[in-house]
Amino acid sequence: KNPDMAAKAVARSALGSTPAEARSRVVALYRAWYRDIPYIVETFTLPVGIKGCRTKLREMFDRNKDVKDVRVIDMLVVKGRMELEETHNVWKQKTHVMRFFDNATGPQPKKDFLSNFLEGRD
């Protein structure tokens, strides 16, 4: 048996995709979001505009650009398609869409009483 073939078989996801197929699905998802942004901005009357949404879209895709595992890529594509469908069909409210524009660092650690007191907060 060819060792390269065995490595390729291991790299395939449950959907049976190769890295090239996974990449094409990522590009298709990106294009679908990119084309739908004007509709989303108009439907939800977003204050960030089309250019701001497309910048955020690029940022969201760039966040996962180093993912190499085909199974993880396929999972991210499925989640992205679900988000697109929910957003396009207005199954979300404006606040759900605006959460994408919040700080991406995650929840801030809670400060204890003494830290708040020293900063002059109640």
| 24-50: pLDDT as tens digits | 999 999 999 999 999 999 999 999 999
Write down the pLDDT at residue 115: 77
Which of 79, 83, 72 minimizes the C-alpha distance to 14?
72
In the 8-state DSSP scheme, what is residue 102? S
User: Considering the entire predicted model, what is its pTM?
Assistant: 0.71
Write down the pLDDT at residue 105: 58
Write down the pLDDT at residue 16: 62
Q: Which two tokens stand for residue 6?
A: 């065995």
Tell me the helix, strand and coil percentages in the chain, rounded to 5. Answer: 70, 0, 30
CA 34 to chain centroid: 13
Report DSSP letters for 39-95, one per residue. HHHHHHT-TTHHHHHHHHHHHHHHTTTT---HHHHHHHHHHHHHHHHHHHTT-S-HH
Write down the pLDDT at residue 112: 78
- Name the more confident of 12 and 60: 60
Write down the pLDDT at residue 36: 97
| 78-118: pLDDT as tens digits | 999 999 999 999 999 999 899 888 865 555 666 777 777 77
Number of Cβ within 10 Å of residue 84's Cβ equals: 15
Write down the pLDDT at residue 12: 47
Write down the pLDDT at residue 118: 79
User: What residues have CB less than 8 Å from 62, skipping those under 6 apart?
Assistant: none
Q: Which two tokens stand for residue 20?
A: 């090239």
